[in-house]
Amino acid sequence: MRYFLIMLLCFPCFVFSENFFTLPDAIKVAINNNLEIKISEDKIEQAYYKKEEVKTYFFPKFTSSFAYTYSGDSEKFRTDDNLYNLSLSLSQPIYTGKRIKETYEISKENLDNAKLEYNVQLQNLIFNVKKGYFSILQANKFLKTSERYKQMLEKHMDDAKKLFEQGLVTNLDILRTEVSVKNAETQIIQAENLIKISKSNFNYILNNPIDNEFEVEDVLEIKGDKRDYEYWKTLALENRPEIKSMEKLLSIYNRAINVERSNLYPQVYLFYNYNTDRGIQVSPNSWNPNWNTGIALTLDIWNWGETKDKVKQAESEKKQVEKQLEITKKSIELEVKNCYLNLLANEKSIEERLKQMETAEENLRVANLLYQEGMATTTEVIEAATSLTEATNNYSQALYDYHISFAELEKASGKGVE
C-alpha cells in the first residue's frame, strides 16, 4: 500500500513535467537534446582520441610482413618454385628534436580548445532557450490582453445597448463597438498564432517534436542587478571562452613553431629487424633466419631553406592570432557595454510603462463613467480601452525585454554556464 501511494504521488509529477517547463528545466532538456551540443560533444571525443593517437608516437612500433612468391621452374638457379619471406621490425624513437613531445602537447591543447568551443555552443544555447522561453511568455500575455480587450468592448456594447433602449445614444455607438469587437477577435487569433510559432521555435531548440504541446511557468520578478559595467567587463575578459580559445590557439602556434624547428635537429631511432626465408638456393626446404639491429640517424643537411620558411609561416600565423585576440577582446568589451546599457534602459522602461498602464486604466474608468452620464462618446471609450491594451502590452514587453537583456549580458560576460 505504501509503495502504491508513492507511485500515485510521483506519477502526476512525471506527467506534469512532460507538458510543463520551468526555465531551469527547459535549459536542462535543451542541453541533453540539442543536436548542435551533441556535435560539440562529438568533437571533444574526436579530439580526445586524436590525443591518444599522438601519445602512441612515444612508444615502439612493431610491424610484420609475410610474402609468398611463385617463381616457376628455374633449373638454372636450382631454387624452389615457392619462395617465402617473414619479417618482423621494431622502431623506437630516441631523439626527435622535441617533435613528438610538442605534437602531443598540441593535441592536448586541441582537446582543451574543443571543450572551450563546446562552452561557446552551450552559452549560445542557454541564451536561445531563455529568449525562446520569454517569447512564449510574452505571446501568452498578448493573448490575455487581447481577450481582456474584447471583454472590455463587449461590456461597453452592453452599456451602449442599454442607453440605446433608453434613447440616449444612437445605433451608431453599437455599430462602432461591433467593429472594434471584430478587431479584438482578430488580435486574439494573431496572438494565438504567435504562441504557436513561439512554441514551435522553442521545440526546435529543445529538439522536441515541432508540434509538441506544453506550458511554461511565468517569470515576472525583476533581478534589479546593481553591479556596474566594470564588474561585467572584468567578468567577460576572465570568463569568455572565445578569449580562452584564442589564448589556447596562441599556445598551439608556439608549439607548432617548435615542431617545424625540430627539422633542424637529427632524428634518431633505434631499430631491430628479424627476417626468415625459405625456398632460396641455400636452404630450399627449411627456414633461414637472420636479424639486425642498430641506430638510425637522419638530418636535413640542405633543403633550400624549406624548414626556415615553414618556421616563418608559423610565426606569421601566430602574429595574426595575437592581433585577432586583441580584436576579440575589444569586441567583447563593446558587446558587454551595449548589453549593460540596454539592461539599464529596459529597467527604466519598466517603471515608465507601468505608470502609463496605471494612467490608461484610470482614463478608461473615467471614460466609462462619463459615457454613463452622457458626457463621453463611444469613440472616446474605445480609444481609452485601446490605449489601456497598448499600455498593458508595452508593460509586458518591457518586463520580458528586461529578462532577455539580462540574459544577453550574462552571455556577453561569459556567465551562465554552470
Task: For 200-243, give the secondary structure using H, E and C.
Answer: HHHHHHHCCCCCCCCEECCCCCCCCCCCCHHHHHHHHHHHCHHH
pLDDT of residue 286: 81
CA-to-CA separations, 114 to 121, 307, 324, in angstroms, rounded: 11, 29, 19
pLDDT of residue 2: 37
Question: Would you list the DSSP string of 140-163?
Answer: HHHHHHHHHHHHHHHHHHHHHHHH
Average pLDDT, 10 consecutive residues per value, the chain (418 residues): 36 51 93 93 96 95 90 58 87 92 94 94 94 94 95 91 86 90 94 96 94 88 80 93 92 92 92 86 75 91 88 92 94 96 93 94 94 88 94 93 93 76
pLDDT of residue 3: 33
3-state DSSP assignment of residue 178? helix
pTM of the model: 0.82
β partners of residue 271: 91, 294
Q: How far apart are CA 164 and CA 162, in angstroms?
A: 5
pLDDT of residue 164: 87
pLDDT of residue 8: 36
Q: On the CB side of 358, how many CA atoms lie within 13 Å of its CA?
A: 6
The DSSP letter of residue 280 is B
Q: Is there a contact between 251 and 113 (Cβ–Cβ < 8 Å)?
A: no
β partners of residue 123: none
pLDDT of residue 372: 87
Q: How far apart are CA 245 and CA 329, in angstroms?
A: 12
At 69, phi and psi to the nearest 5?
Answer: -130, 135
Q: How far apart are CA 367 and CA 369, in angstroms?
A: 5
pLDDT of residue 80: 56
The burial class, CB within 10 Å (0-12 / 13-18 / 19+), for 228 is exposed
The burial class, CB within 10 Å (0-12 / 13-18 / 19+), for 417 is middle
Could you identify the residue written with the cell 586541441?
110
At 214, phi and psi to the nearest 5?
Answer: -160, 170
pLDDT of residue 1: 35
Q: Is there a contact between 40 and 117 (Cβ–Cβ < 8 Å)?
A: yes
Q: How many residues appear in the chain? A: 418
